[in-house]
Amino acid sequence: MIYCDHNATTPLRQEVLEAMGPFLHDDFGNASSAHALGARARQAVEQARAHVARLIGAQPSEVVFTSGGTESNNLAILGVAAEVGRSTILSTPIEHASVREPVQALREHGYTVQMLGVDPVGRVDPSELETLLDGGPAALVSVGWANNEIGTIQPIDAIGPLCRARQVLVHVDAVQAAGKVPVHVRGADLLSLSAHKLGGPKGVGALYVRRGVALRPLMLGGGQERGWRPGTENVAGIVGMGEACRLAAAELTAFAAASRVLRDGLWFGIEDAIPDVRRNGPGEMDCLPNTLNVSFEGIRGEALVAALDLEGVAVSSGSACAAGAGEPSHVLLALGRGRMAARDGVRFSLGRTSTAHEIEQVVHTTIAVVQRMRAAKGRDLRHE
Ligand SMILES: Cc1ncc(COP(=O)(O)O)c(C=O)c1O
């Protein structure tokens, strides 16, 4: 199996597994316990917090551990909304469901929701944001650093100051960006991370909360994580996330450069050999270095994903959560594609373990599968 679906999840790194090991065995203490075993767990959690903070340029005290990106996004959006009361929330139509759905829930509870437009490659325009912010008071802007389906990177460094100048909070979903491009909390008041997207375990994430930001917890029943995330800490998971973030920070530049070379090789290989293909999202600069989303005219994304799977190549259409739903991608729809065309995107997302040899094989297999599917379709059409 050649795994090209790293935006869905990444394999757990060996170093991460080794760092977690003791906390699944001998060091099983509760980080809140007063004895030595508890103290060891607490120390490990705090060390992990420091590693996470370092990856995003935050203070450790501003990092709250959660169960993953989905919870971080919900806590940021619903937690701020609960504190500020009915008000205006701004977001974009290409966000992950864990942002779109809480925003939609707020709309149903009487909050005003405004959507920023995106251009044909998925970028928001900071000047449109400025106009909307000047049009009336807002409480929160929620924008993803990088899109999970097409890789578009948003101009967070421009968005942050616009909001700060107007005392509007900024939440950034950096789940896909962290570990792939430099991420810094300069332009954000809240920022979401997920461990399993960067070589860590599933079911653990973090929310950066800038000091002074008022946030209401979603759950009650314990004082852990300064009351924002009550419940006994997932010590092994948190340790794994810390180690994954430490490694990601150390390897960021090399990883980005290596995956860009492989990703570009993949695109050129496909583009050179297969007619009527279209790249979805930005080409070079404002795109995640590991992500390539392509539409092959006449071929439904889901059908190609299934055919490539049979040949041992794992990719996805839309996001992992939407895959299989047969629905057009909300991201491609927002880019202006029709409902049919918005079903055609196939996402190849590369990772630390991807190799040039694998990419050659993926190109080769994709060419063969697309030719076969198009030929079969031509035959079907002739028989109609
Ligand atoms: C952009 C983005 N945000 C949030 C999430 C959710 O993260 P998790 O799987 O940790 O809940 C994902 C996962 O696909 C994502 O791609």
Which CATH number goes with the domain that contains 137? Answer: 3.40.640.10
Other CB atoms within a 10 A radius of the CB of residue 241 amount to 34
Nearest CA to ligand 1 atom 16: 148
Q: Do 334 and 221 lie in a common domain?
A: no
Please tell me the residue having the least CA distance from ligand 1 atom 14: 8
Q: Measured in angstroms, how far is the CA atom of residue 207 from the centroid of ligand 1?
A: 13
Please tell me whether residues 306 and 347 are part of one structural domain: yes
Q: Which pTM was predicted?
A: 0.96
Tell me: do 128 and 269 sit in the same domain: no
Q: How far apart are CA 121 and CA 332, in angstroms?
A: 9
How far is it, in rounded angstroms, from Cα 318 to Cα 296?
14
Residue 322 has pLDDT above 90, yes or no: no
Cα 33 to averaged position of ligand 1 atoms, centre (Å): 32
Verify that 315 and 199 share a domain, yes or no: no
Residue 5 CA to ligand 1 centre (angstroms): 13
Residue given tokens 């960067």 in the structure block: 198
Residue 287 annotated in active site: no
**Residue in the block written with tokens 């259409």:** 317
- Domain count along the chain: 2
321 pLDDT exceeds 80?
no
For 171-225, what is each residue's pLDDT tens digit? Answer: 999 999 999 999 999 999 999 999 999 999 999 999 999 999 999 999 999 899 9
- Site to probe by mutation for ligand 1, drawn from 77, 142, 197, 202 as the one with most ligand atoms within 8 Å of Cβ, is 197
Q: What is the per-residue pLDDT across 41-57, written as a single tens digit (0 to 9) for each?
A: 999 999 999 999 999 99
Give me the CATH number covering residue 343.
Answer: 3.90.1150.10
Domain that holds residue 300: 2-6+252-383
Mean of the pLDDT values across residues 13-35? 97
Nearest one of 195, 196, 222, 199 to 207, comparing CA atoms: 195
Q: Which of 144-153, 318-327, 338-347 has the lowest mean pLDDT?
A: 318-327
Q: Is the pLDDT of residue 17 over 70?
A: yes
Query: Are 263 and 146 in a shared domain?
Result: no
Assess whether 229 and 305 both reside in one domain. no
Q: Closest ligand 1 atom to the C-alpha of 205? A: 10
Ligand 1, atom nearest to 148 Cα: 16
**In 10 A of CB 162, how many CB atoms?**
20
3-state DSSP helix/strand/coil percent for the chain, to nearest 5?
A: 45, 15, 40
- Statement to judge: residues 278 and 243 lie in one domain: no
For ligand 1, mutation pick of 67, 92, 103, 176 (most atoms within 8 Å of CB): 176
**Does 228 lie in the same domain as 80?**
yes
Residues 276 and 153 occupy one common structural domain: no
- Ligand 1 neighbours by CB, cut-off 6 Å: 68-70, 73, 96, 98, 144, 148, 173, 175-176, 194, 196, 205, 319-320
User: Backbone phi, then psi, for 164, in 5-degree steps?
Assistant: -60, -40
How remote is the CA of residue 367 from the centroid of ligand 1, in Å?
A: 30
**Which of 151-155, 260-264, 335-339 is the least confident region?**
335-339
Last residue of one domain, picked from the residues 203, 232, 248:
248
* Residues 258 and 242 placed together within one structural domain of the fold: no
In this prediction, residue 378 carries a pLDDT of: 80
Q: What is the pLDDT of residue 383?
A: 63
Q: What is the mean pLDDT of the chain?
A: 95
Atom of ligand 1 nearest to the CA of 203: 10
Greatest extent of the chain over all pairs of C-alpha atoms, in Å = 77
DSSP for 290-322, written as a single string:
TEEEEEETTS-HHHHHHHHHHTTEE-BSS-TTT
Identify the residue whose tokens are 């420091």: 50
The arithmetic mean of pLDDT across residues 253-275, rounded, is: 97
Q: Kindly report the protein residue whose alpha carbon is nearest to atom 5 of ligand 1.
A: 69
What is the band of 325 on the pLDDT scale with cuts at 50, 70, 90? low
* pLDDT tens, residue by residue, 96-133: 999 999 999 999 999 999 999 999 999 999 999 999 99
**pLDDT at position 323 over 70:** no
Q: In angstroms, rounded to a whole number, what is the distance separating the alpha carbons of residues 192 and 50? A: 16
Q: How far is the CA of 380 from the centre of ligand 1 (A)?
A: 39
Alpha-carbon distance of 182 to 184, in angstroms, equals 7
**Does residue 244 sit in the same domain as residue 268?**
no
Residue ending a domain, among 193, 217, 248, is 248
Return the pLDDT at 92.
98
Q: What is the Cα–Cα distance from 166 to 182, expressed in whole angstroms?
A: 26
Percent of the residues in the chain that have a pLDDT greater than 90, as a whole number: 93
Q: What is the pLDDT of residue 85?
A: 87
209/345 same-domain check: no
Last residue of a domain, one of 213, 230, 248: 248
